[in-house]
Amino acid sequence: SARDMIRHIFHILILCRERNTLTDFFADKPTVKGVFKMVKISPSILACDFSRMGEEIKRIERFSDYLHVDVMDGIFVPNISFGMPVISSIRKTTDMFFDVHLMIDRPERYIDDFVKCGADLITIHYESTAVPAAVLKKIRACGKKAGLSIKPKTDVSVVLPLLPLCDLVLVMTVEPGFGGQKFIPYTLEKIKKLRTMLNEAGLTTDIEVDGGV
C-alpha cells in the first residue's frame, strides 16, 4: 500500500542515520547538518496496489519528491512490468515528477515514446545499449533530464566519460528486475567512489540508489 511504501522509505533513512552512512558519504558537503534536506524520496510505483494506483499515488504526493517508475521488458531483466500506456494513464492523475527507470534492451528505440507519455527524468542502463552517450544526448535534446544506471557488478568507472551527459547516476544496490532483494553491501563503496568522481569533475550530478535493505 502507499503507507507501506512510505514506511519502507523512512525505514531506509532511519537505518542510514543510525549507521551514520549518509553523514559519511556527504561529509565533504558544505552542510552536513542539512544532509537529510539533500535527500530526495522517490518511492517505486511497483510497491503500490495496482487496483488502486491513482489513489495510492495521491496518498504519497506530499511525502515524496519523485515517483519512481520501473519499466521492465523481460529481456534486459527477467521480469515484465508495464509500459507507455500505464504511464500515460497515471500522468493524468498527478503532477509529480516522474522518475522513469528503463530496465529494457536498446532503450534508444523508445525515448520519444516515454517523453510523450509524461516522463520527466529518463534513466537508462549502461549495460542495455551499445550507444549510451547517444541515448543520453537524445533524452536531453527532448527537454528531459537524463540518468544513467549501472548494475551491482558493473565497475563504476565506466560512467566517468559519460558524466557530463548525466543529470543523475543510479547505482543499483540489488540486481535489477525484482523487488524484495537484500542490499548488497559492497555497492556502498561504488557510491563513495562515484561521489569522489563527481567532486573531482566539479559536477553537481545527483546520485540515486535503488535497492533493498
User: Dihedral of the CA atoms 58, 63, 66, 70 (nearest 10)?
Assistant: -70
User: Annotated catalytic, 210?
Assistant: yes
Q: What are phi and psi of 82, to 5 degrees?
A: -155, 175
For 82, counting Cβ atoms within 10 Å of its Cβ (0-12 exposed, 13-18 middle, 19+ buried), the class is: middle
User: Annotated catalytic, 155?
Assistant: no
Helix, coil or strand: residue 14: helix
DSSP letters, 138-159, are HHHHTT-EEEEEE-TTS-GGGG
Cell of 110: 523508445
Catalytic residue among 73, 99, 167, 210: 210
Q: Quote the CA–CA distance of 25 and 170 in Å, as a whole number.
A: 15
Helix, coil or strand: residue 180: coil
Catalytic residue among 65, 70, 95, 112: 70
Catalytic residue numbers, as ranges? 70, 210
